[in-house]
Amino acid sequence: MRKSALVLILLLVPTLCMAQGILTVSSAMGSVEWKPVTASTFAPIPLSTQTVRVGDQIRTGPGSQLILTLPDSSYMVISENSTVTIQEFWTPGVRSLVNMMLGKVRFYIQRLGGKPNPYSVQTPTALIAVRGTIFEVTVDAAKTVEVECFEGQVAVENAAIHDREVILNPGYRTLVRPDQIPVIPVAANEPLNRNRVIDVIRKDDPVLSAKDAKAIERLIRDNDRRNRTSDPLQAPSGTTTTDTQRAKTGTMKYPPM
């Protein structure tokens, strides 16, 4: 009877940890500050601290790094000069890992049944849905977000514009500015213009009847098929997916599978 009870407890431990929103502190280096959900100010994280919970905030200083591990063995590496808030990653459906306010975090997501575990990452500007296993998110002081995919796939959209998203394949990255859709992804070894401005120009729409064609406002460098060829930062042979099971309307995959 005692042995059966012990086995049951061991089976329930991962579930209990998940339900309580616990992440394990696997490694801490340099200046790492911690503000528990019950505290009002940041303080150096004690050496005895082994876990952090939902609502806790983490802040790293210059030359510092913190590694947090989830119950499913996924983990995140929080780089220097970063600020994040632990979120309710156990929520049914897509589980939100952290809210990144500033800095850089690289995520390593485990697979469950051959598919990446369904996590997401929030920032002040972008929402990142994990369809892959390794990716990196950087948030600067202007709330501009850069996302790069190293393995698998990652879906990126503006937090305020939910009808346009891009899907990054390995070796591609994109940029999201406040109030703008993600820019067309580029290969990781190509320059990504952080000061790029999307211009609005007036053009004739060739789809309209030639007899009564009217000039319309059009984004010269948006995700529209007819404008894509004029975009100097487009990925080669970019296409818009029609697979509704993989992406939303307006979603793009780079490069096409």
The answer to whether residue 232 sits within a structural domain is: no
Burial class (CB in 10 A: 0-12, 13-18, 19+), 16: exposed
Both tokens of 63, joined, read 């030359």
Phi, psi of 230 (to 5 degrees): -90, 0
Strand 145-151 with 134-139, pairing: antiparallel
Both tokens of 243, joined, read 């697979």
- For residue 116, the one-letter residue type is P
- For residue 238, the one-letter residue type is G
What's the CATH code of the domain at 102? 2.60.120.1440
The answer to whether residue 213 sits within a structural domain is: no
What's the number of domains the chain is made of?
Answer: 1
pLDDT in tens, 140-152: 999 999 999 999 9
pLDDT in tens, 47-84: 888 999 889 999 999 999 999 998 888 999 999 999 99
Please give the Cα distance from 63 to 66 (Å, whole number): 11
Q: Mean pLDDT check: name the lowest of 169-173, 178-182, 214-218.
A: 214-218
Residues 116, 130 contacting (CB under 8 angstroms): yes
Question: Which residues neighbour 120 within 8 Å (Cβ) at sequence distance 6 or greater?
Answer: 94, 95, 96, 97, 127, 128, 129, 130
Please give the Cα distance from 133 to 185 (Å, whole number): 18
What is the pLDDT at residue 162? 80
The answer to whether residue 118 sits within a structural domain is: yes
The answer to whether residue 40 sits within a structural domain is: yes
What is the pLDDT at residue 86? 92
- For residue 27, the one-letter residue type is S
The answer to whether residue 46 sits within a structural domain is: yes
DSSP the chain: -HHHHHHHHHHHHHHHHHHHTEEEEEEEES-EEEE-TT-SS-EEPPTT--EEETT-EEEE-TT-EEEEE-TTS-EEEE-SS-EEEE--TTSSSSEEEEEEEEEEEEEEPPEETTEE--EEEE-SSEEEEE-SSEEEEEE-TT--EEEEEEES-EEEEETTEEEEEEEEPTTEEEEE-TTSPPPPPEETTS---TT----EEEEE-TTS-GGG--EEEEETTSS-HHHHTT-TTPPTT-EE---TTT--TT-EEES--
Please give the Cα distance from 82 to 31 (Å, whole number): 11
pLDDT in tens, 101-156: 999 999 999 887 777 777 889 999 999 988 778 999 999 999 999 999 999 999 99
The answer to whether residue 205 sits within a structural domain is: no
The answer to whether residue 233 sits within a structural domain is: no
The domain containing residue 182 runs over which residues?
Answer: 2-196+241-254
Residues 240, 248 contacting (CB under 8 angstroms): no
The answer to whether residue 216 sits within a structural domain is: no
CA dihedral over 62, 142, 98, 42, signed as positive or negative: positive
The mean pLDDT value for 197-219 works out to 45
pLDDT at 38 over 80: yes
pLDDT at 199 over 90: no
Please give the Cα distance from 134 to 117 (Å, whole number): 12
